[in-house]
Amino acid sequence: MNTAPYIHCGQSTALQMLDAAIALLPAAAGAVWFFGLRAAAMLLLAVAAAFATQFLWDRFTGRQELRTLTVLVTGLLSALLLPARAALWAAPLGAFLAVSVKVLTGGIGQNWWNPAALGRAALLPLLCPLALKDCQGTFLMAYLDGAMGEASTLLLLVGAAYLAMRHLLPWAVAVPYLCASFLTAAVLPHCDPLAVVCWGGTILGACFLSADPVTTPMGLTFRVLYGVFTGAVATVFSFYGWGMGGVVVATLAANTAFRAAETIAARLQNTAELEQV
Amino acid sequence: MLPWNRGVPMGRAVTTPPTSLPQQERIILPLPRGETPLVRVGDPVSRGQRVADGNGDPLPIYAPVSGTVAALDTMELAAGGSCLALILQNDGLDTAADPLELPDDEDALWDSGVRLPGGRPLAQAVTQAAPGLDTLILSAMDREPWHCTEDAALCLDADAVGAGLAFLNRLLHPRRTLLAVGAGQHQAAHAAAPLDCTVMTVPQRYPLSHPQLLAESLGRLPPGQPPQEGDVLVLPVSAVAAFGAALQGTPPIRQRVSVAWKRGHALIDAPMGAPLSAILEAAAAPDGPLLLGGPMTGSPLRHADGPLVPGITSLCVLPPRRHRNGTPCIRCGRCAAVCPMDRQPWLGIGHCLHCGACRYVCPAAGYTPSKEEVLL
Ligand code: SF4
Ligand code: SF4
């Protein structure tokens, strides 16, 4: 107890990450239910790989990021973003790439890109270049559409409700995301807007990928714009057959654009304020 | 868990009946600002007698008990340094001096010896704001969570508040006189009804009771302008009550001190100069690190041996803290969402009240409180 305030609300980064992981549990349980032990093995391998990677990086860099439990969320998401019929090694490889890139781009707080989305995107070229529809069944990734996590919208919504209950659901992103998805789908030919909004991938992108505080913008305006951008782009990409890959690519593009915009805005504001003083 | 975006809950601003401190043998009256003693060692003093005089900031000091002057000695101050102090031996007879008579002008504020919580003379705050005052705001809201001295001042001393308020209205001629009460302070709002002012209800959340924020929300002060220099004056009711009591003949020789800890609080009515340790004992407070003031902006107190001096209205006993290093900022934005000044704490720009609300909600804070420690 060195500085005021001497009381604290009790929230910590680890608790927040634990909550995010709990919110993913219904979807994870659903994956095991639908896809069997293979899904369970993928989940376990991904989480174990995420923990191991972070542990080794912590040893190497001297930082202590393991205890923030971010890797728990990264690991779970890395598996859930993959199709159940992906090769068994894809899940731990995705988790390894996710955590490693996060560490190499500055570690928790500094990383620009959502780790799980990044890990999944890094697997895209391995699994299916350009992921066109006709590649189904021909590449390693036999079942292109249909990540394990998107199997049940209902279970995802249960998790999202939990996030909302814990005040961790970023409404300012999720609502614009869903609206943008709906409107984009309405504009696209032969596309059922309702089906798009009810698709698990949309819910995953709107409520779970955007719930990562580090890579989602902080201000309200940026959050709304981020939601609109990601929702629209993800819908277009998934419509053209990228499935979950479309969502992660849209998320990464938005991560990049908005983090850059935020940094520039903060610099400008800082200079303006300094000039005033 | 509490919704974090509601700021810091105020929780306990409900007055409990105050406990009177038992008679103290020795009373220590420090003279830290160079007050001139008016008595010599061995002199008899009666309760309410003026024992030290001041001119300007060194305010007059009145004897809280009757007895004799045992010593005029140097004493260590808890904040460091030392000063002269009058030490009174209590004779237990409680012989009262003549009631205090104050002039009917600005000098009454100085002569009364009343200080605001924190130690600034009431007279200084009032005289600075005197010319062309637009809005006088009395605040019955406690500055910090856990405490209830302001609430108690209004609930228990409403007529003294009335007397002080009438004087201030006469002196300052404000265009409007407002009284701010928290939304949960029903008893205080009831007590305020007969007073010559407009009662305004303010949400009971932590930084909102800050004078600057009250001035902005009630006094329509332009944001960012410190209240005392503008045309809005915010005064805590406890100081106005003490001043009103002085007008009625009782100088500020006793003070209510709110003692709060994690699971409880007590209101102790103590004479000035009583040792803080006796106050803590009377409050039946647990052992633990001590804070002067509230849990959000209080300052650590190394020991409780010092005496009660004007300006001390609240003490906190903290639970022992489990240390842990924080994490890097995870950019969650909670700090900016709770900041009453619309500041972006991570940029470190804009005017800061140092209220601590941003650190209260920050999940990456430099420590994780133990579970028992989580508020309320
Ligand atoms: S930045 Fe300053 S005013 Fe804002 S919440 Fe933090 S301490 Fe309070
Ligand atoms: S300083 Fe704390 S509250 Fe503010 S964004 Fe960073 S982690 Fe969140």
- Residue A262 lies inside a defined structural domain of this protein: yes
Closest CA to B10 of B246, B207, B288, B273: B207
pTM for the whole structure: 0.84
List CB contacts (< 8 A) between B341 and chain A: none
Residue bearing the bigger pLDDT, A219 or A161:
A161
Band of the pLDDT at A226, cuts 50, 70, 90? very high
Q: What is the pLDDT of residue A55?
A: 96
Which chain A residues contact residue B367 at CB under 8 A?
Answer: 8
pLDDT score at B20:
87
Tens digit of each residue's pLDDT (9 = 90 or more) over A247-261: 999 999 999 999 999
* Residue B371 domain flag: no
In chain B, how many domains are there? Answer: 1
pLDDT at A205: 92
Instruction: Place B324 in a pLDDT band, splitting at 50, 70 and 90.
Output: low
Give the tens place of pLDDT for each residue, B75-113.
877 666 788 899 999 988 888 888 888 888 888 889 898
CB contacts < 8 A, A to B, total 120
* pLDDT exceeds cutoff 70 at B228: no
B280-284 average pLDDT score: 90
Residue A85 lies in a domain: yes
Say yes or no to pLDDT of B368 above 50. no
Cβ-contact B238, B269 below 8 angstroms:
no
User: Which residue, among A11, A210, A270, would best test binding to B if mutated, counting the most B CBs under 10 Å from its CB?
Assistant: A11
Taking CB atoms and an 8 Å cutoff, what residues of chain A touch B301?
Answer: none
Check which CATH number belongs to the domain holding B136 and give it.
Answer: 3.40.50.11540
| AA identity, residue A4 | A
The amino acid that residue B291 corresponds to is L
| pLDDT level of residue A131 (50, 70, 90 thresholds) | very low
Q: What is the pLDDT of residue B15?
A: 61
In this model, does residue B372 exceed pLDDT 50?
no
Ligand 2 pocket member B367 (CB < 6 A):
no
- Is B328 in Cβ contact with A218 (below 8 Å)? no
Question: Residue A29 falls within a domain, yes or no?
Answer: yes
* Domain span including residue A246: 13-271
| pLDDT in the model for residue A59 | 93
In a domain, B342, yes or no: no
Domain membership of residue B233 as a residue range: 8-13+100-247
pLDDT tens, position by position, A26-84: 999 999 988 889 899 999 999 999 999 999 999 999 888 898 899 999 999 999 998 88
Nearest CA, atom 2, ligand 2: B362
Whether B110 maps to a domain, the answer reads yes
Packed helices A90-104 and A115-127: angle between N→C axes, nearest 10 degrees: 130
pLDDT of residue A98: 95
Report the pLDDT value the prediction gives residue A27, as an integer from 0 to 100: 93
Lowest mean pLDDT among A49-53, A141-145, A259-263, B311-315: A141-145
pLDDT at A215: 92
pLDDT band at A136 (very low <50, low <70, confident <90, very high): very low
Within-domain flag for B112: yes
Q: Please, are residues A164 and A157 in contact by the beta-carbon 8 Å criterion?
A: no
pLDDT at position A137 is 37
Contact B264, B280 (CB under 8 A): no
- Give the closest of B298, B330, B334 to A4, CB-based: B298
| Torsional sign, CA A133, A136, A142, A148 | positive
Predicted pLDDT of residue B349 = 63
- In this predicted complex, what is the ipTM? 0.84
Answer with the residue of higher pLDDT: A230 or B133. A230
> Over the stretch B138-178, which tens digit does the pLDDT of each residue have?
999 988 888 888 989 999 989 999 999 999 998 888 888 99
Residue recorded with tokens 């890109």: A113
Q: Is A140 within the bounds of a domain?
A: yes
Pairing of strands B264-271, B19-20: parallel
Q: Does A6 fall in a domain? A: no
**Does residue B222 have a pLDDT over 50?**
yes
B361 → closest Cβ in A9, A65, A218: A9
Q: Identify which has the larger pLDDT, B222 or A202.
A: A202
Segment A13-23 shows an average pLDDT of 93
Instruction: Let me know if residue A147 belongs to a domain.
Output: yes
∠ Cα B272 B275 B280 (to 5°): 110
Which of B146, B322, B331 is best to mutate for the A interface (most A CBs within 10 A)?
B331
- Supply the pLDDT for residue B5: 55
The C-alpha angle B304, B308, B310, rounded to 5 degrees, equals 140
Residues above pLDDT 90, as percent of chain A: 51
The secondary structure of A248-277 as a DSSP string is: HHHHHHHHHHHHHHHHHHHHHHHHHHHHH-
Percent of chain B with pLDDT over 70: 87
Q: Please state the rounded mean pLDDT for residues B226-238.
A: 76
**Angle CA A205–A187–A202, to nearest 5:** 10
Q: Is A137 part of any domain?
A: yes
Q: What is the 3-state secondary structure (H, E, C) of B268-285?
A: EEEECCCEHHHHHHHCCC
Picking from A122, A137, A132, the residue whose alpha carbon sits closest to that of residue A249 is: A122
**pLDDT above 80: residue B57:** no
Query: Does residue B288 surpass a pLDDT of 50?
Result: yes
Look up residue A71 and give its two tokens: 């890797």
**Residue A271: predicted pLDDT:** 79
Cβ density class A132-157: b for 16+ within 10 Å, e for less: eeeeeeeeebeebbbbbbbbbbebbb
In a domain, B35, yes or no: no
**pLDDT for residue B128:** 82
Does some domain include residue B44? no
* Count of domains forming chain A: 1
